[in-house]
Amino acid sequence: MQKKLLAGASVIAMLFALSSGANAQDLSGQKLSVFGPWLTADQENFQKVIDGFVEKTGADVEYSGSDSFEQQIVIDVQAGSPPNIAIFPQPGLAADLAARGSLTPLGDDIKDFVVANYAAGQSWVDLSSYPDENGNTQLFAMPFKADVKSLVWYSPDNFADAGYAVPETMEDLLALSEQIVGDGGTPWCIGLGSGGATGWPATDWVEDLMLRTQSPEVYDQWVTNEMPFNDPRVVAAIEAFGTFARNDAWVDGGAAAVGTTDFRDSPKGLFTVPAKCYMHRQASFIPAFFPEGTELGTDADFFYFPPYASKDLGRPVLGGGALFAITKDNEAAQAFVRYLGTTEAQEIWMGLAGFLTPHTGVDQSKYANDTLRSLGEILANATTFRFDGSDLMPGAIGAGSFWTGMVDYTSGKSAQDVADEIQASWDAIK
């Protein structure tokens, strides 16, 4: 433990050297190329983080973004013309490139820093560590910028008018749902429609419920199919989702409407008069689809999708994130990765919009608004963080049979049959 702390302290010293104007590393004349998926507002905000690094070091940094990042980075690597740093929204793609020998290991010092300074730090290390071309697992990415999916949205006015309290446990949430029905209301709005991607919102439900009924290790085994998809523990998580989605009295429009309602339209029931529903489980991006003029914190708010008190599995958080990996090593790339770990770099974007961090050393008051601050607190209090499972599965599963299977389940097919069919699709690609 002492050795670990000393290693972490050495990285902290390097990081703080970069955030100090007097001791900043002089990288004048050195070029750094960064390539990622961010465009428009995210690109503008990230540029301010880059500007902070340039001011400290004098490096010449150029960022380029693309909505075809996942395809282009593979092309660039294969062509021998990768950027110095690539920003991966999906760990699976980073893992693929690491296995080809296309990423530079970051070292145990940064690994120890992340464990010591990120909430659920080991979870972030696991998310950023992959086998290299020789099968040796190493840290290949620096986590920076997170998203939270374990959220339930509601109208504070509707809760206050009905005398409802925000539930602290899953048992309380289930009891509240029953109470709302008993009072003549409908507890949930759920919509799985998303064009060619219909079904993905249900996969998020199942992933959250897996984290609340099973250990993180079991979740990881499920995502890699080390544990079959039709294992009884997975079937039970699907059926737990059915408690909410296949109960006509619990969901707006009845169970038949779940699979056909567009996910962008489903939260609107929170704001009708009278309300069509009282709660809506969805990720932190969903306010973009609230009615125009909705004021967060007043007209709409959220609470953490709670754990089962009886399971004693801590406070797991499901989400996503951006991982920075070095695809063409140089001194500036090494320095920039370390700069991202400074509170200065993280607080630059915190003060703007669209950024959350699990870094426990940041000043939470630096978030641009109360909504982001509350989301940041959920991340900071997480005991486990796991990436969206369907995004980690092969595309034929995570963006294929898992999506369609969940639509079939909400349409009446049994959880066992759905899980058997998804497992068969796993077997077909092995």
Query: Which of the four pLDDT bands, split at 50, 70 and 90, describes residue 213?
Result: very high
Check residue 15 and give its pLDDT: 52
Confidence at 23, pLDDT banded by 50, 70, 90: low
Tell me the β-bridge partners of 63. Answer: 34
Assigned token pair, 332: 């500036």
Tell me the whole-structure pTM to 2 decimals: 0.85
pLDDT at 25 over 80: yes
CB contact set of 379 (below 8 Å; sequence gap of 6+): 119, 146, 148, 317, 319, 356, 357, 358, 385
Residue 340 CB contacts under 8 Å (≥ 6 apart), including other chains: 49, 142, 144, 324, 346
Domains and CATH numbers, the chain: 2-148+317-387 (3.40.190.10), 151-314+392-429 (3.40.190.10)
pLDDT for res 394: 87
Separation of alpha carbons 314 and 122, rounded Å: 15
Residue 296 is classified by DSSP as B
**Cβ(47)–Cβ(64) under 8 Å?**
no
Predicted confidence at residue 391, as pLDDT, reads 86
Task: Please write the tens of the pLDDT for every residue from 77-120.
Answer: 999 999 999 999 889 899 999 999 999 999 899 999 999 999 99
CA 317 to chain centre: 8
Q: Which residue has the higher pLDDT, 427 or 70?
A: 427
Q: What percent of the chain has pLDDT over 70?
A: 94
Question: What pLDDT is stored for residue 351 in this prediction?
Answer: 94
Amino acid identity at 63: Y
Check if the beta carbon of residue 39 is closer than 8 Å to that of residue 362: no
Whether the pLDDT of residue 20 is over 90: the answer is no
Lowest mean pLDDT among 87-91, 159-163, 248-252, 363-367: 87-91
Give pLDDT, residue 13.
46
